A and B are shown apart, each in its own frame.
Chain A
Amino acid sequence: MSFKLHGEYGLMEKAIGEVMASTFKRFEFELHREKTVETIERGAFTIVDNGAYYVVGVVTDTKLVIAGSSTRPSRLKIAPTEIDHALPDLKDRTYNSYDATIVGEFVQGRYLQADHLHHALVHAQVYSMDVEDIREFLGQPCDYLHLLYENGGVDCVLSHLIYLKNVLNHSELAQFLSGVVRMLHIRGFDELSLMVVSLIE
């Protein structure tokens, strides 16, 4: 089956961040500075426009990066929203950097899960993945949760499933989970599936 992407991943103004580093397993991106501080949820799907292909990542971790001399923030005792206004200089020097696990890619109308061939190119733009695209990506054998587990542990997998609950309806989620259990079984992650299905609400 061949797919077309639904999201507008070429539009720079829709990009949420930019890739700063990547391996085949993961990439790091920094948020573009917007008027308000944007937060990206753990477990969210992102997609990277690499030109001829797209890399799909799931947010696994985040950290604060400070440019300049100080390597850690000091106590300010003001609300975060006031920082922009009161200390514009500081605002310029702090970023949110995210760590995403590469779970697959989209090449020539086809999704690959876990057995992707590419990594994210540095300076490529990162987008939030469109709901329809996520659905189509999940229609595949559901074979990527072990990557999240290895990178972020059980809780990361659970965050991802909570995220998916907002995207999929009940029966889609159930179907997805049965597929997940099957693939995890093949990969020897029975304990993980058991934890996941037992802990999910």
Chain B
Amino acid sequence: MSNKVGFTIGGTYSNGVLVKLDGKSHEEIEIGHSLIVKGTQRTYLMITNDIIADSDETASVVNMSRKPMFAKEMIADTLLSSKINCIPIASSATQEVEDARTIPDYLSECYLPTPEEAWTFYGACNMEDRYPLGTIKPLDFKVPIDVDTLIQNSFGIFGKSGTGKSVLGNLIAAYIVLYSNRIKNSQLVSIPSVLLIFDMHSEYGLKLKTPTQQVLAPGVAETFPEEFRVYCVDPELVDEIDKEFRRGVLASELKIQKKNIEVEDVVVLSELLNISGIGALNLYAVKNRLEELDKTWFDALLNFDNFDYKVLKSKFDMQVITSLRAFSRRLEPFKHFSQITDENDTCQELINDLKENRNVVVTFGRYGDSEILYMFVVNYISRRLREEYVSKGITEGTKNRIVIFVEEAHKFLNPEVRGSSPLGLIARELRKRGIVLCVIDQTPSQIDENVLGMVWNFFIGATSIDRDVEVSTRTLKLPKLFKPLVTSLRRQEFLTYGSAIRFPAVVKVMEYSSQMGELRRIYESKYKPDFKEYSKSLTKALDSD
């Protein structure tokens, strides 16, 4: 394929640069391709966002000709003209590279970037703090992501189901693990980061699966078992994980003690439980009286139907009784949820793990399908974590940063639960204390604006819902120009922009298995040279697909 694409014939900064193709069919260029334009004073980096073949009248005449295909060939590039529209992304003059603030001169030559040119704009990977996110189209150049910058603030991975969010989440988690090891191993002043991953679909603690439920590859915790503790919401996973990891006790059950459950842990579920429909029940007000009925107020609420009516009547109004009964019925899923116990609570242990720099995955197993239990557990742990940090003075508790990965993030971060959702509070209050979120979601438009405002880096997979495209491209310089890109992304492709990447890019995310294999090798050779044994079985697992 020749490098030359065409030449600029005009355009506007706000709508993009028009390039007339020369000696190339427009079928060879795709939306999302990166191109270079050599202007008179600067070199520009651009991304194609539209393909234009507008010689329709000529084409219809030629179609009637005696030898249409021959005629077409004769007038290609002259009477049948093809153009592309490009977003001006960046410009470089001598050594300095910056956001594009103008567009190239008329008749500037446009061509496919060489790796050196892509390097000038995006920089190079070093596998220490700049890791390869993916390759830009159509060449094989790896765009680096600056992990240190990434974890200074919250970031978001968006896109509809099946676009590769969880795969990318695992990859980024692995980069953070490696980067933290680098910090620990060196005398760098930065503080290491630790991960808290709410693993709804068991893809981080266990294995990534294809949409047809075949195993794709081990998740981040299985790839770096010595770095992680896995808390299983589903006890059946404990054995499964220990068997898979083949290395000691990494997995344990997550237990929540009833006496630690606060009214707010349940109230925050009210939208989901449709509790607002249940009269004007004020759980806070009746909590004390519930406590008189059973071991804990939560027990009393769960078992509410079982109490003698007379006893209830002595404590509550009729109306309240009806409401509490209805409420109790809605808590049905909790009645069969064995991880809520009388004695044990592993939440403090989990928090201590985080404080001691052990990454944590909370894997849900079959409970990932229960929206209510997923939300309950995430909220509960987040609340406890937040309390831990808020109760500490500002100087304490910042020995490390925490990056919290949460899938289906809008459930916790929508405007309705704004005041009550611990994750939302963490996102807004605790960034300065080093806690940030990795927000993974299909419908970013349902996330509270204030939380989205804290998101500094965006990884946007294909989305076709206008509102979602709109909110996820909003902080770009020319948002409307990027919309067609977002809707046309393939699986594994993301539009990425933010503080951790020099310029917006459309990347095909690194092939997961081989990249994780590579990271594991780096990990062993640089940070943990004594795990040859484990590595053999892992390499096999990573290469098995």
Contacts and interface: CB of A to CB of B under 8 A. Distances in A.
Interface of A: 174, 177-178, 181-182, 185, 190, 193-194, 197-201
A181 to B, nearest CB: 5
Of A182, A197, A201, which is in contact with the most chain B CB atoms at under 10 Å from its CB? A197
A201 B67 contact: yes
B74 interface: yes
B62 interface: yes
B71 interface: yes
A159 B64 CA distance: 20
Contact of B75 (A197, A199, A201): A197
B79 A194 contact: yes
Contact of B66 (A174, A185, A198): A198
Interface string B53-87: 00000100110111100110111101100000000
Contacts of A199: 65-66
Contact of A182 (B58, B66, B78): B78
14 contacts: A174-B73, A178-B76, A178-B78, A181-B78, A185-B79, A193-B74, A194-B58, A197-B70, A198-B61, A198-B64, A198-B65, A200-B66, A200-B67, A200-B70
Interface residues of B, number: 15
Contacts of A181: 74-75, 78-79
A172 to B, nearest CB: 13
Contacts of A193: 74-75, 78-79
A187 B142 CA distance: 47
B74 A174 contact: yes
A174 B79 CA distance: 15
A193 B78 CA distance: 10
Nearest to A190: B79
Contacts of A177: 74
A198 B71 contact: yes
A197 B73 CA distance: 10
Contact of B61 (A194, A200, A201): A194
A200 B71 CA distance: 8
A190 B76 CA distance: 13
Interface in B221-237: none
A197 B65 contact: yes
Contacts of A174: 70, 73-74
Contacts of B73: 174, 178
B158 to A, nearest CB: 46
A198 B67 CA distance: 7
A193 B79 CA distance: 9
Contacts of B65: 197-199
A45 B66 CA distance: 25
Nearest to A182: B78
In this complex, the member of B64, B67, B70, B75 whose beta carbon has the largest number of chain A beta carbons within 10 angstroms is B75
Interface in B443-468: none
A177 B61 CA distance: 17
Contacts of B64: 198
Contacts of A194: 58, 61-62, 75, 79
Most buried by B among A174, A185, A193, A194: A194
B62 A197 contact: yes
Given A181-B74, A193-B74, 8 more contacts: A174-B70, A177-B74, A178-B74, A181-B79, A182-B78, A185-B79, A193-B75, A197-B71
Contacts of B75: 178, 181, 193-194, 197
A181 B61 CA distance: 15
A174 B62 CA distance: 16
